[in-house]
Amino acid sequence: MWGNVRAVIRREYMQRVRSKWFIASTVLAPVLMIGLMVVPAYFAQQGDETERTLAIIDGTNVLFERIAPRLDEAGYDVLEQRWHSDVVTELREAAEDGAIGGFVMVDELTLETGEAILYTTSRPNPIRQVTLRSAITQAALEFQLQQQQVDVEALLSGGELRIEMLSETVAGADDPQFFVAYMGSFFLYMVILIYAIAVMRATLEEKTNRIVEVIISSMEPWHLMLGKIIGVGAVSMTQMAIWLLVGGLAFAAGLPMLVAAQPQLAELGSLRDALPGLGMTALFVGFFVFGFFMYSGLYAAVGAMCNSDEEAQQAQFPVLLFLVIPIVMVVGVIENPGTALTTGLSLFPLFTPILMWARVAGGGAPPAEVAISFVLMFLATLAIAWLAGRIYKVGILMAGKRPTVPELWRWIKEA
C-alpha cells in the first residue's frame, strides 16, 4: 500500500515543483513583497534631500523654535530665515535652483488661526501636507496655551484614554494584531483554495485523459487520492515556507529602510512586535494543514465526479461557499471574538482554519477552545476522507453525465 502511495506522492511533488508555474509563482511572490518595501522607499529617496530641506520665515519670532523640533522628528532639515524685504525673492530662487525644497511663511495670523503659506516647486504628498499642517498648528496652539499657563505637553500629546478590559483582550481595528489576524486569515483562504483546486484539477486531468484506468489497475483508488493530496500538500508547504521566509526577511530588512525614507511612517514599526512567534507560527501551520486536508478531500471528490473543467467549475460552488463565508465574516469575528455565535462558527470544522486563527491572532480565543477546534478538525478530516474516498472510488472511473445527489448517495453506499 504505502509503496504505491509514496510513488504517487513523489510523482505529484516532483511534477509540480519542476513546473514553470511553481517556479514563477514561488519567485514572483517574494519579489512582489520586496518590491512593496523597496520601491516606495526608492521613490521616496529620489530628490529626498532637496524636498526635505525647508526654510521657515518666522514673522512672529516665537514659532520657529516650536515648529523646527516637530519637523526634525518628521525627517525635515529646517532652516531659519529672518524677515526682510527680499527674503521671498531669495528663497524662491533657491527653491527653483533646487537648493531647498521650499519655504514656509508664518506670521501673526498663524498665531491666531494656524494659517501659513508653503511655497514649493512640487506639490507635497498628502502625508507631508498633514505633517506640515500639524506641526504649524500645534506650535501656534502651544504658544497660546502657554500664555494661559496650561499644561501644554499633556494636552498636545492627546491626553490619555486608559482601557480596562472586563474580559479577554481583543484587537481593535487600529491595532497591529488586527492586521496580523486579518492578513493571516486571508492568506489561509487563498492558499487552501489554490492548492485544493490543484488537487481537483490533477484528478480531473487524469480522469479526462483516461490515464487513471491504467493507474487504478495497479492500486486502490483511495491510495491514488491519498497520494495526490499529500503530494500537492507537500508542494504547498514548500512554497509557503519559501514565501514566509522571504517575506519575513523582506519585512525585517525593508521596514527600517521605508521608515528611514518616510519617518512619518514610524508607527509601522509596531507591526514587528505583533508578528507571530514560533508558537503562533506552529498554530498557523496546523490550521493550514487541517484546512488543506479537509478541502482537498472535498475537491478531489468534485474532480472525480466531473468530466470536464466546465462541470468542475459549477460543481465546486457549494464547497467554495464554505471558504467564502468565513472570510466574509472574519472582520466581525476579530472585533467580537467572545460571542456565542463567533465561538460556534469558529468551532465548525470547515470554518475553523480561518475563523479560529482570526480569534487566536486577535487575542480572543481561550486555549481550551483552540484545542477543541483541532480535535474537531481531526475528526472532520477523517469523516471527509471516508466520504470523499467512497465518491472518488466510483467516480474516478465513471464517464458521462455528472451525477445527481441521489446517485452520489448510491455511490457512497455501494463503495
Q: How many CA atoms lie within 13 A of 321 on its CB side?
A: 4
| pLDDT of the residue at 93 | 86
DSSP state of 101: S
Residue 52 contacts by C-beta under 8 Å, 6 or more apart in sequence? 75, 76, 77, 101
Crossing angle of helices 278-305 and 176-208, rounded to 10°? 30
Residue 216 contacts residue 317 (beta carbons within 8 Å): no
State how far the Cα of 312 lies from the Cα of 122, in Å rounded to an integer. Answer: 54
* Single-letter residue type at 245: L
Instruction: Supply the Cα-derived Rg of the chain in whole angstroms.
Output: 30
Burial group, residue 318, by CB count within 10 angstroms (0-12, 13-18, 19+): exposed
Q: What is the 3-state secondary structure (H, E, C) of 295-348?
A: HHHHHHHHHHHCCCHHHHHHHCHHHHHHHHHHHHHHHHHHHCCCCHHHHHHHHC
Task: Give the model's pLDDT for residue 264.
Answer: 47
- Judge residue 279's burial from the number of C-beta atoms within 10 Å of its C-beta, 0-12 exposed, 13-18 middle, 19 or more buried: exposed
Residue with the three cell numbers 504649524: 136
Q: Give CA–CA dist 407/411, Å, rounded.
A: 6
Per-residue pLDDT 10s for the chain (415 aa) are 567 778 878 887 888 888 787 777 777 777 776 666 566 555 555 544 456 788 888 888 888 888 888 888 777 888 888 888 788 888 888 888 878 888 888 888 888 888 888 888 877 777 778 888 888 888 888 888 777 766 656 555 555 555 554 554 455 545 667 778 888 899 899 889 988 898 888 888 777 776 766 776 677 777 778 888 888 888 888 887 887 777 777 666 655 555 555 554 444 445 555 566 778 888 998 999 999 999 998 998 888 888 788 888 888 888 999 999 999 999 888 888 878 899 999 999 999 999 999 898 877 788 899 999 999 999 999 888 888 888 877 777 676 666 777 777 777 766 5
Contacting residues for 368 by C-beta, under 8 A, at least 6 apart: none
Dist CA 99 CA 119 (whole Å):
14
CB 111 within 8 A of CB 63: yes
pLDDT of residue 71: 85
- Reading phi first (left if > 0) and then psi (alpha if -120 to 50, else beta), residue 103 is in beta
Whether the full predicted model's pTM is greater than 0.75, yes or no, is no
CB atoms near residue 324 (< 10 Å): 12
Confirm if 353 and 287 have CB atoms less than 8 A apart. yes
Q: Give CA separation, 173 vs 181, 362, 373, in Å.
A: 11, 10, 25
Q: Which residues contact 312 (CB under 8 A, 6 or more apart)?
A: 200, 201, 204, 302, 303, 306
Sheet of 53-58: strand order equals: 77-81, 53-58, 102-106, 117-120
pLDDT at 58: 86
pLDDT at 256: 58
**β 77-81/53-58 pair status:** parallel
> What cell was used for 296?
482537498
For residue 35, the Cα-to-chain-centroid distance in whole angstroms is 15
C-alpha dihedral, 202 to 204 to 205 to 208, nearest 10°: 160
Pull the grid cell for residue 373.
Answer: 477546534
- Among residues 209, 343, 275, 254, which one has the least CA distance to residue 32? 254
User: Are the CB atoms for 293 and 302 separated by under 8 Å?
Assistant: no
Q: Which one, of 165, 227, 168, 194, lies nearest residue 316 by Cα?
A: 194
d(CA 283, CA 370): 9
